[in-house]
Amino acid sequence: DTGVSQDPRHKITKRGQNVTFRCDPISEHNRLYWYRQTLGQGPEFLTYFQNEAQLEKSRLLSDRFSAERPKGSFSTLEIQRTEQGDSAMYLCASSLGGSWNNEQFFGPGTRLTVL
Amino acid sequence: RKEVEQDPGPFNVPEGATVAFNCTYSNSASQSFFWYRQDCRKEPKLLMSVYSSGNEDGRFTAQLNRASQYISLLIRDSKLSDSATYLCVVKTGANNLFFGTGTRLTVIP
């Protein structure tokens, strides 16, 4: 399967714990995005990388959230001191830069439940 | 005000019906427009881009009205397999996408 993959698919954690999610984009894609989706809502943009550089962060991305893409390939999203409001589906997407209409391909998501 | 507003539905239509979804966007500088489809518990997938002149892909027709900041999607001859949530998506400036809440469609046999 050459699509975007995410790991884990599901994560249940207790409030206050730290969690880390991984995203592997489509191999030739230089752009990588993280989104969050809650029930009944569309995905909301969190952050964006071009290669290893994090170029944009949403105001939704509080200090407890950090994302990295150290070698310009896979990315990790860490949430520290999780809160119940962090419960959501975390979606990763990737695209090939250089086109005004570059399609973003989404991974299956990591569903986080904070108890 | 939200970047993209959509009627969440649900829309329940019989097979073979024609159904139309609309959305509005708030930023007049928005540059690119899309409809994504999301099946239950799945990731969003691009259905079609929306061009200023309007565009058609089989049973699906998308239209854009920049003056009114309005986007539409028309589905003709609905199939059971069209049941999904349809997300109106706008790209403004940089590379991130702004999604509407989605409109849920159920096609009934």
pLDDT tens column, B11-63: 999 999 999 999 999 999 888 999 999 999 899 999 999 988 889 999 999 99
Q: Which residue of A has its CA nearest to B39?
A: A108
A18 band by pLDDT with thresholds 50, 70 and 90: very high
Give the three-class secondary structure for B43.
coil
Kindly calculate the radius of gyration of chain A based on its CA atoms and give it in whole angstroms: 13
B96:A108 CB<8 A: no
B65 touches chain A (CB under 8 A): no
A65: tokens are: 């959230």
Nearest Cα neighbor of A51 from A69, A24, A35, A33 is: A69
pLDDT of residue A99: 57
The backbone region for B75, taken as left when phi is positive above 0, alpha when psi lies in -120 to 50, beta otherwise, is beta
